[in-house]
Structure formats: C-alpha cells, structure tokens
C-alpha cells in the first residue's frame, strides 16, 4: 500500500486571522455602543496635581500640648497651652529684657509667715513663675536651646561674686538656703539680669552620715514638720521662679514624699528642676501628676572639676541640644566652672545655639 499523504494546515495564518477578527469586533463595539463597560458600576474621581497652600517643606512635626491654665492654687486649667511662664505684652518687650530684673517682692504673689515671706499664687491666677522668670532674648529664638543652672550662690563670697561678674545673664543661678545673706545675693543677681531658683536640701541614701544641712526634707517627716521645714527653706529670700533639689537620692525615689513636695511647689506657683543626680528619681511622673512646671538637668558639668572634663561635658550638652532641641546643665560656683563657662558661652550663638534661662525649658517634650 502507498503511504497516506499528511495535509499541513496553516495554523499561523489561522491565528493571525482570529486575532484580527477579535480586535476589529472590539473597535466596532466601542465605536457604536455608548457604554463599552456593559453597564458595570463606575465612578469618576478628579485628581488635582497640587494641593493649595501646602508644600513638602511646610510639613513638620508639631508638639501637641494639653490645653492648660492656672487656678488660684497654681494647678492647670483650660485657658493656657503651657505650664511655662506666661508673660504679659510688656514683659516681652526688648527694652525690659535688656534691663535688670525686679528685686522688690510683688505683693500679689507674696505672703507673710513666721519665717519671712513665702511665694503664693495671686488672686488673679498670676504665679511667681510668671513674674520672676527671665524673658527670652536674642535673635535665635528658634535655635536649639541650652539652659545652665549654677548652684551654691551665697555660700562663698568670692565664688558668688565671680559668678555674678563673669556669667551671662541668661545663666540661671540657684541660691543656697544656708547663705548668710540670701536677700543680698538675690538683689545682686536679679539686678544683673539672672533668673533665680532656691535650692532645697533633700534626704540622700546615706543620711545622716551625709547630712545636707538643717531643715533637710526627709521621707520620715510627718506632714506638719515637713511643711514647717519647707516654709523655712522657701522663706529664705524672694523673687525666685522655682526650686531645685540638692542631693536627695532617697527622697526623690520616694513617691509619696515627692508627691507632697510637688503639690506644694505647684500651689506656690513655682517650677521644679530635678538636678539630674539620681537615676531613680520619680520627679517626672510626680510633676506630671501634680501639674508642676518641670525641667530636668541632662548634664552635670563639674562632677570632675577640671577644665578638660567640663569642656567634654559641654560638648555632650551641645550634642543633646542639637538632637532634642533643648538641653539643661548644672554646675557649682567653682572658679574653674565659671571660667570655662564664660569662655564657652562667648561664641555660642555663632555656633547656632541659644543660651536661655531654665524656665524656658519647661514645656519641652519629655525625654526617656
């Protein structure tokens, strides 16, 4: 038998023909039918190329502050956005900022007690913090802020005079309650433009072997004796914006004691500065609970009182300020500390940083 001849079909031509028919049919359908989607639900969304009034450079992180004000006991209410100083228009005028600060106690925020004069919140809600804080000055109000608190003012005549003579007025000074003439130091410091704090001796862990001095606030004190000692400390002078602890490892770690202290600080219309000496302090949480205007020292400058070590701490302080926007340091009125600070502060603004009083750091975002 002969072999059957196989017929080869032109599959390539057939495929191309089918594709041509499908495409032609689709084009004819779209041309003659009003709804080529066959009645499927659709939506038309207009897309704008730009958004009016907003560009990428306009987007920034905003700090959200609780809307707070002050009642007569110094606690926060609803009309003010910050716990920091509330200056009136006159207080913020450059002419006042360039002058010395008031040295006469304002009767609205002063009350007479057994030991002298105590700060209080005025009947109109004004606080000693509002009246005695130093207003901001300078041309770099949006620059990273650095505050420096120098303590021990009044303990050494030579050291205290050196601090007043050498340090810029933006440095906050803390008066020791054991100064022989605290009112004299208050007047000299305020006349030179310095914001003031009062130092409060608090119980350390090794008390009484390490005794900060008479009227130290102890965790074992009952409320009447505690308040009596606190009254003595706060009445040593006037015209200060707040208080700062000295020592106090045991006290600042005791929640009930810190709550009692900061409730009193708030009711007196003052700010509280934690000196940063204890990692166990509960001060931030207690201040938040009591709505106390609060700040905390980040860097202790002269734990090792040598110029090279202090300069190293100042470099750390600058780095923190650039990273966080705000940083706070503390030191004592030692000659080496004052000389190093004077040299460091001379060109601070040229380095893009602003020296501010510690009251200007109250409303910073909390740091971990």
| pLDDT band at residue 17 using 50, 70 and 90 as cut-offs | low
Give me the pLDDT at residue 108, please: 97
The pLDDT value recorded for residue 359 is: 98
Residue 27 has pLDDT above 90, yes or no: no
pTM of the model: 0.77
User: Encoding tokens for residue 280?
Assistant: 């166990």
Residue pair 235/115 in contact (Cβ under 8 Å)? The answer is: yes
The answer, yes or no, to whether residue 10 has pLDDT greater than 90, is no
Domain limits of the chain?
110-360
What is the distance between the alpha carbons of residues 167 and 127, in angstroms, rounded to a whole number? 27
Q: Is the pLDDT of residue 307 over 50?
A: yes
**From CA 133, how far away is CA 27, in angstroms rounded?**
80
Query: Which DSSP helix (H) or strand (E) runs through 352?
Result: none
Q: Is 82 exposed, middle or buried (0-12, 13-18, 19+ CB in 10 A)?
A: middle
Closest CA to 151 of 171, 132, 136, 134: 171
* Residue 93 confidence (pLDDT): 43
**Residue 94: predicted pLDDT:** 41
pLDDT of res. 144: 96
CATH number of 110-360: 3.20.20.370
Residue 311 pLDDT > 60:
yes
Query: For 41, what's the count of Cα atoms within 13 Å in the CB-facing half-sphere?
Result: 0
| 243-280 pLDDT tens trace | 999 999 999 999 999 999 999 999 999 999 999 999 99
67 pLDDT more than 50:
no
Calculate the average pLDDT of the chain: 83
107-165: pLDDT as tens digits: 999 999 999 999 999 999 999 999 999 998 766 678 999 999 999 999 999 999 999 99
| Percent helix / strand / coil, the chain, rounded to 5 | 35, 15, 45
Q: What percent of the chain has pLDDT over 70?
A: 73
pLDDT of 137: 76
pLDDT confidence band for 21 (50 / 70 / 90): low
pLDDT band at residue 82 using 50, 70 and 90 as cut-offs: confident
Q: If we measure between CA atoms, which residue out of 189, 219, 185, 215 comes closest to residue 200?
A: 215
92 vs 103, residue with greater confidence:
103
pLDDT of 78: 40
At residue 186, the 3 state secondary structure works out as helix
Q: Which residues pair with 364 in a beta bridge?
A: none
How far separated are the first and last CA of the chain, in Å rounded?
Answer: 99
Cβ atoms of 126 and 71 within 8 Å: the answer is: no
Does 250 or 62 have the greater pLDDT score?
250
Peptide bond into 208 cis (omega under 30): yes
Tokens of 9: 């079909």
In the block, which residue shows the tokens 């409320």?
223
Least confident range of 7-21, 34-48, 76-90, 348-362 = 34-48
pLDDT surpassing 70 at residue 342: yes
Which tens digit of pLDDT belongs to each residue from 162-218? 999 999 999 999 999 999 999 999 999 999 999 999 999 999 999 999 999 999 999
- pLDDT average, residue stretch 10-30: 58
Structure token pair of residue 179: 């100064």
List of E strands, the chain: 68-70, 76-80, 110-113, 116-119, 145-153, 172-175, 196-202, 242-247, 271-274, 294-296, 299-300, 326-332, 354-356
């Amino acid at each position: 038998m002969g072999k059957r001849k196989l017929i080869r079909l032109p599959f390539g031509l057939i495929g191309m023909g089918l594709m041509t028919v499908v495409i032609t049919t689709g084009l004819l359908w779209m041309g003659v039918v009003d709804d080529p989607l066959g009645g499927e639900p659709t939506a038309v969304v207009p897309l704008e190329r730009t958004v009016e009034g907003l560009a990428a450079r306009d987007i920034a992180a905003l700090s959200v502050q609780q809307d707070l004000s002050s009642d007569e006991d110094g606690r926060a209410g609803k009309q003010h956005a910050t716990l920091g100083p509330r200056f009136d228009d006159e207080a913020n005028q450059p002419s006042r900022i360039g002058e010395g600060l008031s040295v006469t106690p304002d009767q609205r925020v002063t009350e007479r007690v057994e030991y002298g004069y105590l700060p209080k919140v005025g009947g109109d809600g004004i606080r000693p913090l509002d009246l005695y804080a130093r207003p901001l000055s300078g041309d770099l109000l949006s620059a990273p802020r650095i505050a420096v608190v120098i303590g021990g003012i009044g303990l050494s005549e030579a050291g205290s005079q050196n601090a007043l003579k050498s340090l810029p007025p933006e440095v906050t000074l803390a008066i020791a309650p054991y100064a022989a003439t605290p009112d004299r130091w208050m007047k000299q410091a305020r006349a030179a433009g310095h914001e003031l704090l009062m130092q409060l001796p608090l119980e350390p862990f090794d008390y009484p072997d390490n005794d900060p001095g008479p009227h130290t606030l102890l965790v074992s004190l009952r409320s009447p004796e505690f308040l009596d000692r606190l009254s003595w400390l706060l009445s040593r002078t006037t015209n200060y914006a707040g208080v700062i602890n000295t020592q106090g490892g045991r006290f600042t770690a005791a929640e009930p004691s810190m709550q009692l202290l900061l409730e009193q600080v708030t009711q007196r219309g003052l700010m509280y500065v934690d000196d940063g000496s204890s990692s166990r302090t509960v001060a931030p949480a207690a201040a938040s609970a009591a709505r106390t205007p609060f700040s905390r020292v980040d860097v202790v400058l002269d734990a090792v009182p040598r110029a090279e070590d202090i300069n190293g701490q100042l470099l750390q302080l600058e780095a923190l300020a650039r990273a966080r926007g705000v940083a706070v340091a503390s030191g004592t009125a030692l000659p080496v500390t004052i000389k190093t600070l004077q040299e460091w502060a001379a060109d601070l603004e040229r380095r893009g940083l602003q020296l501010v009083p510690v009251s200007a750091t109250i409303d910073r975002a909390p740091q971990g």
